[in-house]
Amino acid sequence: MTPIIKLENLSKKYGTFYAVNKLNLNIYKGEVFGLLGPNGAGKSTTILMMLGLTEPQSGKALICGFDATTNPIQVKKRVGYLPDTLGFYENRTGLENLIYIAHLNGLSEQITIQKAKELLIRVGLEKEMNKKVSTYSRGMKQRLGLADVLIKNPEIIILDEPTLGIDPKGVRDFLLLIRQLSKEEHLTVLLSSHNLHQVQQVCDRVGLFVDGNLIAEGDIPTLSKVLLKEQSYTVEIKLQESLQENSSIIKTLLLKSEDIKKVTLQNDSLLIYCTNDVTSYIAKTLINANFNMQYLHIKEYGLDDIYQRYFENKNENNKQIA
Ligand SMILES: Nc1ncnc2c1ncn2[C@@H]1O[C@H](COP(=O)(O)OP(=O)(O)OP(=O)(O)O)[C@@H](O)[C@H]1O
């Protein structure tokens, strides 16, 4: 399958500093892809290069087959971009604002009004479309922004921190809407965020940016494997016997398995970090040693945990090096 977005060795330098460093990434039609990373990681710079709004030092951004640097007009026709700050005519209604944008995009007079109304209904602004934008909440403005982006029938939409400042229900509804649009209309969505939980809810795949580098990409289980490497499964157990008294014998027993990398005591349970799912081995080993198990479960990692543990591990390694 040909990717709809193809970034090849894309780099951007400010002075001597690389904001984006040799980025390679393929995104396919109909995917919801999350650009995730802390402040300053290079997400917005990457988006600007994809839109042809800033030139890369080296490499290429191919969008729907067009080079964003040499052919930004073709790219602009196919991509809808929702920046993190929106500007509307506040004393005009949502419908008037949308019609204005439709005209700017060259849509004919006849189809504009009908299409604008349909879109405002689609994004959930049916009741508010004839109210002035000055009366809109942040969430409503974001929906209007989405309608602005969709009116030119883009193949790709790029949303920069789209849920900033919206209340939790608004965020949920907005993300659901994006997911629906992508799945029903086969729209490719690129979403930049530092909110892991939101990205996890809505994205098919995620790319994790740190200091201008894409350090991992994939779905959540893949990211977990790549970032946590040898410790991507954690099994938590609790025994009827005292773990304080028995922890060293248990560690010796369990660490005989090559798949078990670390065993730590945490409060009154034992955390066993493994490369694979070895729960049955753990259970058998402990039962054979006459321990009585109170519970055993595999801890599922969300993006939040993966991210936090990745940075914890990195800091630990840095400390060890220093
Ligand atoms: N015009 C510029 N001139 C100099 N440095 C810049 C410029 N634009 C961005 N940078 C730097 O490049 C790095 C990447 O910035 P970028 O805005 O792409 O990050 P980001 O991941 O989008 O962050 P945020 O989540 O805060 O928006 C940062 O260190 C930033 O200070």
Kindly report, residue by residue over 251-286, the tens digit of the pLDDT: 999 999 998 988 988 888 899 988 888 899 999 999
Q: Where are the beta strands (DSSP E) in the chain?
A: 5-14, 17-27, 32-36, 58-63, 66-67, 79-82, 156-160, 188-193, 205-210, 213-218, 233-239, 260-266, 269-274, 293-299
Ligand 1 atom 7: the closest Cα is on which residue? 14
pLDDT of residue 317: 60
Using alpha carbons only, what angle is made at residue 155 by residues 152 and 158, rounded to the nearest 5 degrees?
Answer: 90
**Rounded to the nearest whole angstrom, what is the distance from the C-alpha of residue 46 to the centroid of ligand 1?**
10
Q: Name which of 265, 262, 267 is nearest 278 in CA terms.
A: 262
Domain 3-227: what homologous superfamily? P-loop containing nucleotide triphosphate hydrolases (3.40.50.300)
Return d(Cα 205, Cα 228) in angstroms, integer: 17
For CA atoms 155, 51, 157, 65, give the dihedral sign. positive
pLDDT of residue 83: 87
Ligand 1: residues with CB < 6 A are 14, 19, 37, 39-45, 194
Return d(Cα 249, Cα 152) in angstroms, integer: 67
Q: Are 92 and 100 in contact (CB under 8 A)?
A: yes
- Indicate the class that CATH gives domain 231-319: alpha beta
Token pair recorded at residue 273: 């970090």
Quick one: which atom of ligand 1 is closest to the CA of 84?
A: 27
pLDDT of residue 230: 66
| pTM for this predicted structure | 0.78
Side-by-side strand order, sheet with 188-193:
79-82, 156-160, 188-193, 32-36, 205-210, 213-218
Q: What are the residue ranges of CATH 3.40.50.300 in the chain?
A: 3-227
pLDDT of residue 127: 94
Mutate to test the pocket of ligand 1, among 12, 13, 20, 39 (most ligand atoms within 8 A of CB): 39
Quick one: which atom of ligand 1 is closest to the CA of 41?
A: 21
pLDDT of residue 318: 57
pLDDT of residue 320: 45
Mutate to test the pocket of ligand 1, among 20, 43, 51 (most ligand atoms within 8 A of CB): 43
pLDDT of residue 321: 39
Global ipTM: 0.95
Q: What are the residue ranges of CATH 3.30.70.100 in the chain?
A: 231-319
Give, for all 322 residues of the chain, the pLDDT tens digit: 889 999 999 999 998 999 999 999 999 999 999 998 888 889 999 999 999 999 999 999 999 999 999 999 999 999 999 987 778 999 999 999 999 999 888 887 777 888 999 999 999 999 999 999 999 998 899 999 999 999 989 999 999 988 887 888 888 888 988 999 899 889 999 999 877 777 878 899 999 888 899 988 888 777 777 776 666 788 999 999 988 889 889 999 999 999 898 898 888 889 998 888 889 999 999 999 999 999 898 876 666 777 776 766 666 665 543 4
The phi, psi pair for 126, rounded to 5°, reads -55, -45
Kindly report, residue by residue over 79-110, the tens digit of the pLDDT: 999 987 778 999 999 999 999 999 888 887 77
Ligand 1 atom 16: the closest Cα is on which residue? 42
